[in-house]
Structure 1
Amino acid sequence: MLYDDFKPIVDLILNNWTALQLAVEQGMGAPGGEKTAQLMSVYIARYCVENIVDTLELTEVIEDLMDEEFDTVCHDNSPKEVASLLLMFLSLLKEGKHDELRTRLEAMPKCQKWLSQPIHESVPPQCHGNPDDDTTSSSGEEDGPEDESKDGATASSSNNQESEPMDEDVEPGWTVVKTRRRK
């Protein structure tokens, strides 16, 4: 079955994705982030195998999952890179190019495979609501006063003297992932 061959590849790619690792390690989103990431891997693998997707569509799915499940928005173009890699490997699988697939997989960085760990059935996955449910607000409404948001952004940017200043419109609790440019 295509899913059984593709799922370990999805795990490997997501294991190497720094934005997802940081979101899980920093406890972004609901409790049980590692299990959520494992379920995200299952969802992405099934979505790719069961649908005809292009890079833009898969990028949007990945961005939505990171936003909804981990309250994380990536500004470093990494969701598109992840989507491109996933679709390239899926294409190699579908075309039966197993030698090229194996060569490309072996060239990938080695990492701890934390997503491949079995999900314990005794612990139910965290309920994050229905993705079609509009219970979250994207209109910029804040739970607290607006001044707290601006003070948090100012304090955060003063700690990183040489980095770019943080945008004031970033909501508290969000992780901003940007590319690092070396001079």
Structure 2
Amino acid sequence: MEHTKSFFLSVTQRIFSNWTALKLAVEHGMGSVERAIEFCPYITEVLYMNEGLTSDQIAAEIEDYMDEQLNTILEDNSTVQVAEELLRFYRFCIEGNESTAKVELEKLPPLQSWFTCERPTRATRSLPVKQDSSSDEDMDVDKSEQEADGWTVVTNKRNR
């Protein structure tokens, strides 16, 4: 496949959007939708940067993310099932089985509406900043305001 990583990311999004444990973690406030969405490129990178991962290793990585980022400890076998499905598609991608991968993707349930698959955009280059009348001098911090414990009091020095 020409763009296997982006294809695999779309597979990951489809699988994760249909994973009940992830959806419940978000619905119960254990983590944000953004954290769930960020999970997709994260796990994609894990697979593409580590050759020869087993489904158990992928499942362990999924469990760690769910625990650390979504405050969720899973006691079911769903991480292994998700890992096996991801590994299956990953193998299609690295072996160049484009037609099989596309056929198998169509067998998966559709992307769910709760899971907006667009990754939060982060600027990779500096963007022009609009200058306004409240410049840096309005936000100057007097060095004497620095506290002994490391906290700094920031006050607005604008004339009212």
Q: Is the structural similarity TM-score above 0.5? A: yes
Residue type at the aligned position of 2:106? E
Residue type at the aligned position of 1:43? Y
What are the within-5 Å matches in structure 2 for residues 21-32 of structure 1? 21-29=23-31
The CA RMSD measured in Å over matched residues stands at: 1.6
3-state SS of paired residue (2:73): strand
Residue type at the aligned position of 2:120? I
Provide the residue aligned with 2:44 in structure 1: 45
Residue type at the aligned position of 1:80? V
- CA separation in 1, counterparts of 2:82 and 2:50? 17
- CA separation in 2, counterparts of 1:36 and 1:86? 19
Identity of aligned residues (%): 33
Shift of 1:75: 1.6
Q: Does 1:116 align with 2:117?
A: yes
Q: Which runs of 5+ in 2 are unaligned?
A: 124-160
- CA separation in 2, counterparts of 1:121 and 1:95? 31
- CA separation in 1, counterparts of 2:99 and 2:63? 31
Change (3 A) 1:91 1:27: same
What are the within-5 Å matches in structure 2 for residues 1-183 of structure 1? 1-29=3-31, 33-52=32-51, 53-113=53-113, 114-121=115-122
- CA separation in 1, counterparts of 2:23 and 2:73? 13
TM-score by length of 2: 0.69
TM-score by length of 1: 0.61
Residue type at the aligned position of 1:19? A
Provide the residue aligned with 1:173 in structure 2: none
